[in-house]
Amino acid sequence: MGQSTSSRDFATLQHHLIHDNHANRKAMLDFIADDPIYIPRYNMPLEFEREITLQRLKKLGDKGFISVFDFEKNPLNIFAAHEVAGMVDGSMGTKMTVQWNLFGGTVIKLGTERHRHILSGVDNLHNVGCFALTELGYGNNAVEMETTAIYDDDNREFIINTPTTLAQKYWITNSAIHAKWAVVFAQTIIRGQNEGIHVFLVRIREEK
């Protein structure tokens, strides 16, 4: 076969394949290439891998390459940042998804004004969060979940309860370490009536 005579150069082709947020993608890749913290490492101890993943992600958040407020202003940038992160470090991409999409995205989309104070700490990872949906017995089958949030009329608060072993929240990224907050999905019981599944913002760790 003869040599290709395509008149399309690589940069032009890449521009068409990657159709949005070109400047931010390039800036993010350039930043990663210049910082030795992003050099690939292998066979790391679990504790070290967890910490370096957090630090890598924090640097990207501090530089403004991704923001929870992108959901309101530029949602395509959320996905652009994820694509870049996923090319560099799969663990960082996963942690990014939980922090910005699942935790921050839930608060910004389902929360009210009383919850928005949390959002200022999402981008800099001061408020690391997790997404507590899956349960040991039901996985992502949310309709069958057993976790309850029972309204206490006397104290005007919800009491979240795990009534059985199978109702334990499982596979919750960030919950074992780092997360201060969880968005917890539960069967909502008010005066004996099940009002369906709602999500609750729950503090799970205090400041050190």
Q: For residue 100, with 0-12 CB atoms within 10 Å meaning exposed, 13-18 middle and 19 or more buried, which class applies?
A: buried
- Is-above-0.85 flag for pTM? yes
Inter-CA distances, 24 with 67, 165, 181, 187, 195, Å: 12, 45, 29, 41, 43
Predicted local distance difference test score (pLDDT) of residue 140:
87
Q: How far apart are CA 79 and CA 70, in angstroms?
A: 10
Nearest 5°: the CA angle 60, 62, 67 is: 75
Listed by start position, the domains of the chain span: 10-114, 129-203
pLDDT at 190 over 80: yes
The SS3 call for residue 57 is: helix
Q: Which residue has the higher pLDDT, 194 or 6?
A: 194
Radius of gyration of the chain (CA): 21
Residue 101: name the closest of 133, 70, 74 by CA. Answer: 70
Please count the residues of the chain.
208
Architecture of domain 129-203: Beta Barrel (2.40)
Nearest 5°: the CA angle 119, 121, 123 is: 85
Predicted local distance difference test score (pLDDT) of residue 15:
73
Residue 58: name the closest of 121, 10, 7, 8 by CA. Answer: 121
Query: Taking the alpha carbons of 184, 186, 189, 193 in that order, is the dihedral positive or negative?
Result: positive
Inter-CA distances, 99 with 43, 55, 79, 195, 207, Å: 25, 13, 13, 28, 18
- Could you give phi then psi for residue 58, rounded to 5 degrees? -60, -40
pLDDT tens track for 112-166: 999 999 999 999 999 999 999 999 999 989 999 999 999 999 999 999 999 999 9
Residue 1 pLDDT grade (very low, low, confident, very high; cuts 50, 70, 90)? low
pLDDT tens track for 5-61: 565 677 777 777 777 898 999 999 999 999 999 999 999 999 999 999 999 999 999
- In the chain, helix, strand, coil percent, each to 5? 45, 20, 35
Predicted local distance difference test score (pLDDT) of residue 88:
94
Predicted local distance difference test score (pLDDT) of residue 11:
73
Residue 181 pLDDT grade (very low, low, confident, very high; cuts 50, 70, 90)? very high
